[in-house]
Amino acid sequence: MAARSRLANALLCALIGLLCAGCVHSWERYTAEALDPAGLVESERSYGSLYVNVSINGTGPIRMLLDTGAYINSVSSETADRIGLVPRGTWDIRDFNGQAVRSSRAAVDEMIVGGLTLRDFEVWINPAREEHGDQGVLGMIGIQDHTLAMNFETGQVELSDERLNPDDPGVIEFRLSEDYKAKIPVLIEKPSGAFERVWATLDTGFRGTLTLGRRESRAHRLEDRLVFRTRMYGTHGPSSSWAAEKHLLAGDLKIGGITYSRIVAATDQPGTNAGAALFEGCLVTIDWPSSLLKIERVDGASRMLDLASYGILPIDDGSGRLTIIAASTQPDPDGMALDYSKSIESVNGLEPDGRFQHRKLWPIGTDAREVVIKYRDPDTGATGEHRLPIDKSPAPR
């Protein structure tokens, strides 16, 4: 009898598996026309992120954040009202910090992104999206049938059906997770000098450099390397925020043919994510059908330095120049305490480029051992310079 019961259960499980294999969740359904290679994607780069203009149900342009870490598209409540989207149910959407947020969903008849036309799919309505300065988030639904090229210097975005060559230098394979996210191999140097491979979500919706999950944080974070404390925000606006500590990694980080020195990562996060700041000045090409990725610096540099590791945060001061701000490790209600501000004149002889707007990483020579930061005090006009070692020591105080 027991044998028959086990056999019956096995047959039932197999039947359920066959039935579910053909099941498609509502958020996965869409139809698409053949890609028009002549269709140009209207796009721009702003504060480290890429934004794309789309039309939905004949209304546009609608400015959307290009987010490779998202599969589903979303629009703000205001945009949904403007284009006449009618809520018809809810989804539980999991935010960047792992929290589930219940949001309304609506049907879209047509969306056009450059030469790509998608039909008959659903979006979720994000009530806080307007707070981010855009009208929605462009996920990878439909785009994953093609090759996506993103230029993080010029802001140009292209869709094509050209395949990457796996034998070309700098081309790496990635994994596609169950929720349709690209998991890319990231090599992180241990204190011993050996490199460990971890899989990080390629997340252009995250403006920072790197987050480390709890397991990765235990392996690569040293307690004496706290650089600053801050707050992180999800796609649902200020109501979805949480405290984070940012630590200097024990060693270098490598993605493809690019080496990153003195990277500061947000630790003890729900997952490991490679954010848009890692790709500043890069051309990033994702061949979704082939699961291949290529990252190359437009200027040909192969090594990058994270100035945040010295407690220096480059920001746009509104004058067309960049300023440096020293961040304290003492928390305050806004997440960090600012000690001083100076206008950057150059970093290792390179002047700030206004096109970058929110520059975190700077190219350095493969054998460089120090970084020279020349600055001007905006109040007094006095000039000076910092000479800081490019090593693995904790951030100077």
Which ranges in 240-316 belong to alpha helices (H)? Answer: none
What one-letter code names the amino acid at 128?
Answer: A
pTM for this model (two decimals)? 0.85
Beta strands in 180-239 (DSSP E): 182-189, 195-203, 210-213, 221-233
pLDDT of residue 234: 64
pLDDT-flagged residues of the chain (< 70): 1-27, 95-99, 128-133, 222-223, 233-240, 311, 313-342, 352-359, 392-397
Q: How does pLDDT run across 220-245, given as a tens digit for each residue?
A: 876 677 877 777 766 654 456 778 88
Beta-bridge partner residues of 49: 46
Render the burial of 50-84: b for 16+ CB within 10 Å, e for the rest.
bbbbbbbeeeeebbbbbbbbbbbbbbbbebbeebe
Dist. CA 336–CA 329, nearest whole Å? 7
26-159: CATH superfamily: Acid Proteases (2.40.70.10)
User: Given the structure tokens 């928390």, which residue do they identify?
Assistant: 331
Half-sphere exposure of 353 (CA within 13 A, CB side): 17
Dist. CA 41–CA 151, nearest whole Å? 12
CA 95 to chain centre: 13
Is the separation of the CB atoms in 246 and 232 below 8 Å? no
Q: What angle do CA 125, 208, 255 make, to 5 degrees?
A: 115
Q: Decide which of 3.40.50.2300, 3.40.50.12780, 2.40.70.10, 3.10.20.30 is the CATH code for 174-297.
A: 2.40.70.10
Backbone phi, then psi, for 72, in 5-degree steps?
Answer: -85, 145
- Domain boundaries along the sequence of the chain: 26-159, 174-297, 305-389
Beta strands in 134-219 (DSSP E): 136-138, 147-151, 157-160, 171-173, 175-176, 182-189, 195-203, 210-213
The SS3 call for residue 181 is: coil
